[in-house]
Amino acid sequence: MVVPPEPGTMGISVPYREDAAVDLAWNEVTGAVGDAATVLPVVVAVAVLTDLTLPVMLVWFGVFQVVWGLYYGVPVSVEPMKALAALAIAGAVSTGELVVAGLLLAAVLLLVGATKSLDRVGTYVGQPVVRGIQLGVALVLLEMGLGLGLERPRLAAAAGVVAIAVLAGGYWKSSGLVVFALGAALAVVDAGVPSPALPSPEALFVLPAAEFTLGALEATVAQLAMTVGNAALATAVLLGDFFDRDVSADDLSTSMGVTNALAVPFGGLPMCHGSGGVAGKYAFGARTAGANLVLGVGYVAVAVLGAGLVTAYPVAVLGVILALVALQLGKTSLERAEEYPLVVGVGLLGLFVNLGPLGSGMTDHRRTAGFKDRTRVAAARERLLAAATPLSRTETVPLGDADGRVLAAEATAARPVPHYARAAMDGFAVRAESTFGASDRAPVELAVDEEAGPRRATRVHTGSELPEGADAVVMIEETEQREDRVEVFDAVAGGENVAPVGEDVGEGQHLYDPGHRLRPSDLGLLKSVGEETVEVYERPRVSVIPTGEELVQADPAPGEVIETNGQTVSQYVRRWGGDPAYRDVVTDDFDALREAIERDLDHDIVVTTGGSSVGERDLLPEVVAELGEVLVHGVALKPGHPFAFGEVEGTLVCLLPGYPVAAIVNAVQFLRPAIQRVGHLPRVDHPTTEAELARKMTSEPGTRSFVRVSLDERGGEETDGDDDRPVATPTRASGSGVLSSVALADGWVVVPEELEGYDAGTTVAVENWEWSA
């Protein structure tokens, strides 16, 4: 094994200010790994489970790594606000609530820093409490590391062996980098080498999604205690321990306030400092702000060159690095402690209340099991259709009510069409033999008579019954009538210009097979053969149950939301050929949800909206698991990965996400084909329009993305010869809660899992999902 040299053997050091230098030696590179390990598991989970995008979050982390490293002159950490991140990951707060909480915390932290409040608080708290907070963070990081390692125990064990081997060789500070490189190599093998892609501009605009709710306030309070204790007080003490740097807690409060005021409105995850990241950098060799420069540039480079690798990075390897960081932080807190019982007590209390990245959902394996491996769309749909049982119930309906219905039995002609021989042209019905030899120069003269016969002609119109005794019709253009005589200028053959009995449809002729979806023209044909009714399959009965204690039908108070998902999905169900039952809102109560599902098990499909993710209030997957079986929980689709479905007593139960856009995307991708299968409806793809992409469109590798676009016709200088393709402009790349981004779009562009997006100017297919056939 080749191990990089230890600090001091390579690199450069440049003066930064009188009491600090920016060192770019190898130890600063290895030290950067320690902080990255505390960041990556959280931001990846947030990117997967919320509307914030990974590249934009990484750019903001990179910017402030550099800014605060240079400002303080030490390897200060920049980490996620982990309590907020955990609430977002668990689905307890929406992206809009996360934005509001981050801005509220920015305001509070700026106020605290300006008033020098934390310095006064620190004099009362005392060193043992601060050391206890450090120990608590160490224990939580260790818990997180073990939890991530359990995702893939064998890989974690292998990474642990590598770390021990490096440590045994005397290269403690390089151990994290070597293990990190191992994980990076595995990510490249899994995801391949990504192509460069700039972050999507649409991902910067998250302010329109802001939601000022009671949940946002509660999340702010939950994070504030952790920020004051760990990110400010404990971090200030640790910077003094490790780097002999007098950085006040109030200064750290101010820098955290500035960070969030600038980043959160533009797609950044709420950020803070933290003793865990500082300990990680120190443990692996960082001694100057050079580690921040390395990590900051690295974050931005990954955001542009390979964000897909981050999502493919094996979390079990990060778990080993976190364990190493935890050991360093715990060792420091205990070595410098004066009152061991108090320090240990505060540390254990910190672990008990979970003051870390695990928060309220990161390691709750029972809840997150469905998202360990998000099922690809095609595989999830295949399992869904296998669970959807075509119905056998039929009914007889009048033809006037049968448009769009599906035949349940073979349709045959009870009588021929036409049921009589009829004239196919205006003219004269004749015996063909009476016209033989007729020409323009030598016309044949026939007597006009109401009865046909030899040398006689009877006036007929198109559709008239052919008179008995006639076997052909001479077109009116080939005749000239003179009172009771008519001259014929062209001979006709027997059967010419005559529609015989059954020419259109023969008696007993097969018309349609069972499963044929009836169209207006089909109904006209069935009526022509004498049918007045038709046997069809019943429409699939679909129960639509909106869930969520915040939902109301009208006049919402603060913290309440108008229920739209249930109504929208019900309308789609009807459009797609189902018979919807739009139910009242059910609150987030296990027993109430169970009762609602059990009540509607006599339906062919039960659909719920909301409560399908992994948060504390996302109870529906557990309800379905208790009543029957959850077949899929979590799909590799954006927006809308928290989709789930299962089977209860033979009834398909689909759990749509609560965000409106996510609900619509999943309804189109999964509920529509389920209704088609249950109702024997043919699978018909939505129509597409070829268009030129106006600007670059990015997507997360391994995820099928549905990017809403508007279509504009070319005009003026943009017109280029015969190119009449419209221009497709993304309305929003993310934002599963922004209903207007769907309602005002002309369609969406599907970015498949194997691509990272499309470049500007690319010809893309814009799918019109609103098409109703």
User: Could you tell me the pLDDT band of residue 202, with boundaries at 50, 70 and 90?
Assistant: low
User: 618 in a domain, yes or no?
Assistant: yes
3-state secondary structure string across 416-452: CECCCCEECCCEEEECHHHHCCCCCCCCEEEEECCCC
Whole-number pLDDT of residue 205: 62
Give yes or no: residues 552 and 605 share one domain. yes
User: Could you tell me the pLDDT band of residue 369, with boundaries at 50, 70 and 90?
Assistant: very low
Question: Half-sphere exposure of 744 toward its Cβ, with a 13 Å CA cutoff?
Answer: 8
Find the helix packing angle between 315-335 and 235-243, rounded to 10°: 80
Q: What average pLDDT does the chain have?
A: 82
Secondary structure (3-state) at 22: strand
Structural contact between residues 581 and 608, judged by C-beta atoms closer than 8 angstroms: no
Whole-number pLDDT of residue 427: 95
Task: Rounding to the nearest 10 degrees, give the CA dihedral for residues 503, 509, 515, 521.
Answer: 20
User: 265 in a domain, yes or no?
Assistant: yes
**Quick count: other Cβ atoms within 10 Å of Cβ 291?**
34
User: 7 in a domain, yes or no?
Assistant: no
Which two structure tokens, joined as six digits, stand for 600? Answer: 């509607």
**Quick count: other Cβ atoms within 10 Å of Cβ 752?**
11
Alpha carbon distance 585, 566 (integer Å): 9
CATH code, domain carrying 464: 2.170.190.11
Convert the pLDDT of each residue in 570-603 to its tens digit: 999 999 999 999 999 999 999 999 999 999 999 9
CATH code, domain carrying 734: 2.40.340.10
Whether pLDDT at 459 is above 60: yes
Alpha carbon distance 674, 386 (integer Å): 9
Query: Residue 630: which H helix or E strand, with range?
Result: strand 629-633
Whole-number pLDDT of residue 301: 87
Convert the pLDDT of each residue in 737-769 to its tens digit: 556 666 778 899 999 988 878 888 999 999 998
If you average pLDDT over residues 335-340, what whole number do you get?
59
Whole-number pLDDT of residue 310: 64
| Domains: count for the chain | 5
Give yes or no: residues 227 and 117 share one domain. yes
Alpha carbon distance 576, 773 (integer Å): 7
Alpha carbon distance 324, 504 (integer Å): 83
Give yes or no: residues 191 and 320 share one domain. yes
If you average pLDDT over residues 44-73, what whole number do you get?
85
Give yes or no: residues 291 and 430 share one domain. no
| Peptide bond preceding 639 in cis form (omega within 30 of 0) | yes
Structural contact between residues 142 and 326, judged by C-beta atoms closer than 8 angstroms: yes
Chain-centroid distance, C-alpha 685: 20
Which two structure tokens, joined as six digits, stand for 300? Answer: 């931005």
Whole-number pLDDT of residue 8: 43
User: 370 in a domain, yes or no?
Assistant: no
Alpha carbon distance 36, 46 (integer Å): 15
Final residue in a domain of this structure, among 513, 537, 561: 537
Task: Give the pairing of strands 422-423 and 688-693.
Answer: unpaired
Return left, alpha or beta for 8; rule: phi > 0 is left, psi -120 to 50 is alpha, else beta: left
Convert the pLDDT of each residue in 720-733 to its tens digit: 556 678 999 887 54
CATH code, domain carrying 566: 3.40.980.10
Chain-centroid distance, C-alpha 68: 35
Alpha carbon distance 645, 372 (integer Å): 16
Alpha carbon distance 688, 246 (integer Å): 63
Whole-number pLDDT of residue 365: 34
Closest CA to 299 of 324, 269, 320: 269
Q: What is the DSSP letter of 503?
A: S
Give yes or no: residues 262 and 230 share one domain. yes
What percentage of residues in the chain have a pLDDT greater than 90?
43
Whole-number pLDDT of residue 572: 95
Give yes or no: residues 206 and 182 share one domain. yes
Give yes or no: residues 482 and 631 share one domain. no
Which two structure tokens, joined as six digits, stand for 126? Answer: 């005392």
Which two structure tokens, joined as six digits, stand for 656? Answer: 């749509």
User: Could you tell me the pLDDT band of residue 131, with boundaries at 50, 70 and 90?
Assistant: low
Secondary structure (3-state) at 543: strand
Whether pLDDT at 297 is above 80: yes
**Quick count: other Cβ atoms within 10 Å of Cβ 685?**
8
Whole-number pLDDT of residue 738: 58
Whole-number pLDDT of residue 753: 87
3-state secondary structure string across 605-616: EEEEECCCCCCC
Higher-scoring residue by pLDDT: 123, 443: 443
If you average pLDDT over residues 125-148, what whole number do you get?
65
What percentage of residues in the chain have a pLDDT greater than 70?
79
User: 305 in a domain, yes or no?
Assistant: yes
Enumerate long-range contacts of 577-580, CB under 8 Å, 24 or more apart: 577/404, 577/406, 577/539, 577/540, 577/675, 577/676, 577/679, 577/681, 578/539, 578/540, 578/541, 578/542, 578/605, 578/675, 578/679, 579/538, 579/539, 579/540, 579/541, 579/542, 580/542, 580/543, 580/544
Instruction: Find where tokens 């151990």 sit.
Output: 175
Give yes or no: residues 408 and 384 share one domain. no
Alpha carbon distance 549, 92 (integer Å): 13
Close Cβ partners of 139 (under 8 Å, ≥ 6 residues apart): 326, 330, 347, 348, 350, 351
To 5 degrees, how large is the angle CA 558–CA 268–CA 65? 145
Closest CA to 675 of 772, 761, 759: 772
Convert the pLDDT of each residue in 690-722 to its tens digit: 999 988 887 777 789 898 888 988 654 444 556
Task: Rounding to the nearest 10 degrees, give the CA dihedral for residues 431, 437, 441, 443.
Answer: -20
Closest CA to 156 of 146, 169, 171, 168: 146
Closest CA to 40 of 20, 52, 30, 54: 54
User: 595 in a domain, yes or no?
Assistant: yes
Whole-number pLDDT of residue 62: 94
Residue 145 lies in domain = 14-363
Whole-number pLDDT of residue 366: 32
Whole-number pLDDT of residue 9: 41
Alpha carbon distance 94, 218 (integer Å): 13
DSSP string, 240-279: HHHH-----HHHHHHHHHHHHHHHGGGTPPPEE--HHHHH
Closest CA to 285 of 160, 171, 167, 169: 171
Whole-number pLDDT of residue 628: 95
User: 8 in a domain, yes or no?
Assistant: no
Whether pLDDT at 357 is above 60: no
Query: Residue 512: which H helix or E strand, with range?
Result: strand 510-512
Give yes or no: residues 545 and 491 share one domain. no
Whether pLDDT at 532 is above 80: yes
Alpha carbon distance 156, 138 (integer Å): 19
Whole-number pLDDT of residue 627: 96
Q: Which residues of 548-557 are buried (b: 16+ CB within 10 A; e: fewer)?
A: bebbeeeeee
User: Could you tell me the pLDDT band of residue 207, with boundaries at 50, 70 and 90?
Assistant: low
Task: Give the pairing of strands 456-460 and 444-448.
Answer: parallel
Q: Where are the alpha helices (DSSP H) in 530-688?
A: 565-575, 590-599, 620-627, 660-666, 672-678
Whether pLDDT at 71 is above 50: yes
Report the greatest alpha carbon distance in the chain.
Answer: 132
User: 168 in a domain, yes or no?
Assistant: yes
Whole-number pLDDT of residue 277: 81
Whole-number pLDDT of residue 51: 74
Whether pLDDT at 773 is above 70: no
Whole-number pLDDT of residue 350: 57
Close Cβ partners of 476 (under 8 Å, ≥ 6 residues apart): 425, 426, 427, 428
Closest CA to 77 of 147, 12, 134, 10: 134
Closest CA to 460 of 584, 470, 747: 470
Give yes or no: residues 514 and 626 share one domain. no
Higher-scoring residue by pLDDT: 633, 212: 633
- Please tell me which of 54-58, 172-176, 315-319, 486-490 the model is most confident about, judged by mean pLDDT: 486-490
Convert the pLDDT of each residue in 240-254 to its tens digit: 888 888 888 999 999
Range name among 105-119, 228-242, 474-488, 706-720 with the lowest pLDDT average: 706-720
Task: Give the pairing of strands 271-272 and 79-80.
Answer: antiparallel
Find the helix packing angle between 275-283 and 172-191, rounded to 10°: 100
Query: Residue 644: which H helix or E strand, with range?
Result: strand 644-648
> Cα–Cα distances in Å, from 655 out to 589, 597, 611?
16, 11, 8
Give yes or no: residues 550 and 529 share one domain. no
Whole-number pLDDT of residue 584: 95
Q: What is the DSSP letter of 229?
A: I
Give yes or no: residues 523 and 559 share one domain. no
